[in-house]
Structure formats: structure tokens, C-alpha cells
Structure 1
């Protein structure tokens, strides 16, 4: 059997804050949206404009508290063309949460605490 990745889902507490973060920090843009007829949820799909992979942000109307991510042992990974510029932006945004200088990578965290690994475009993400 062969499969193809389509999207990954992250549940978010504040949809507008998350959309602004992903647009500013990673340049992702909304490519489609689905809203429940009763307003109970909104799904927003973000694209990098290059690959077919999408990030789905799910907002649930009845959610009253931020998500508990447990040990937060999962993460997304992205490549950036200009690591120095990305690092400067992320530092200015105050979202860098971990750096590994030996491996030449760092992580940022989004408004809900999800981690995103930042790699240079020439580095294999493994």
C-alpha cells in the first residue's frame, strides 16, 4: 500500500492568534476553511505555497481552557531558506524555546505551546 501525507492537525485555543503566528513566523497562508453550520468548530488549512502538505488548525467553540500538551514530545519541522533572518524574526517574536547548536537547529513554540523545529534549507530533516 502507498500513502501520501495530506495534512497534520493542531487544536488551537485562540484561532486568530494562531493564524497571525503561523503567518508571521512561518509565512503560512490560509488556503481553505470549513465552519460547522452550528458554529461549534472551525477548521483552517494553512499552506506553504510550495508543497501539497497542509497544516490544519482546529478551533472548538466550547473549549474553555488552553490545551494540556502533556510532555509535548511531538513537533513539526520546517526548512527555512535564510536561517539567520528566520532566527532574528523568531527572537524578536520571543518564540524560540530551545536551541541545539551542535545540531545547528532550534525550536519555536506557537501560542498553544506546540514546538516547531527550524532547519536550514540545505539540511536534511531527520
Structure 2
């Protein structure tokens, strides 16, 4: 049997990304790994539900140029129990990058340009 473990996003500014994921999605660090020579750092984030799935943020010390994300044809998705409240929060943060009212979803963009889909909980 297999189960999802984590997904990785590479980030340029780890502190900025950690602040964004905390504020926008309530994700908090649950473990870290840093290279002995401090050339990279991995930080694993988890949500408050106890889900085993984690988001791994990878910071590379020598990376200065933005990552090429192509056409953003990949994304993570989160279910929001209070969809309208999350929408208003993300709107106030200025991080909504695409809305699809017909499907009842929207996307936010993190500081590095990764897209994250927000879907309402099924009622």
C-alpha cells in the first residue's frame, strides 16, 4: 500500500514563504533538515487537521533567479470548510490570481508564483 507523503515547492525566500503559508493557509512547520554546509534547507509544513500529507519547501542558498514554473499547469488544492471566509481573507491579502465562479473555485499564488486551488467543502 502507498499513501501520499509530501509535495515539494522550491522557494527563493524561505522566511517570506513560511509567513505566506502560515497566514494564507494556516500551515506550520513540523520538521526541518539543513545541509551541514548550509547550502540548502528543507522545511515540511502541515495543516491543523492531522493529515499526513505535507508541503516541503526547499530553499537553496545559492539560488538567486526565480524558478521557471512553465504555465502553472500544476497546483496543490485545499478544501475550505468556510469557503467564503477564506475567499475574503485571500482577497484582502491580494493573492487571488484566478477565479472560476462557474466551478465555484479560485486560485491563490504564493510568493514564488505557485498556484494553489481553493475548493469548498462538499456539504
For residues 122 and 16 of structure 1, what CA distance do their matches in structure 2 show?
33
Corresponding position of 1:87:
87
1:34-79 per-position Cα deviation (integer Å, ceiling 9, x unaligned)? 1111000000000003211000000000101111111111000000
Please list every run of at least 4 consecutive aligned residues from structure 1 whose deviation after the TM superposition is greater than 3 angstroms: none
Q: Secondary structure at the match of 2:122?
A: coil
Q: Secondary structure at the match of 2:31?
A: strand
Does 2:41 correspond to 1:42?
Answer: yes
RMSD over equivalenced CA pairs, Å: 0.9
Gaps of 5+ in 1: none
Q: Secondary structure at the match of 2:42?
A: strand
Corresponding position of 2:20:
21
Q: TM-score, normalised by structure 2?
A: 0.96
Say how many residue pairs are matched.
122
For residues 27 and 89 of structure 2, what CA distance do their matches in structure 1 show?
15
Q: TM-score, normalised by structure 1?
A: 0.94
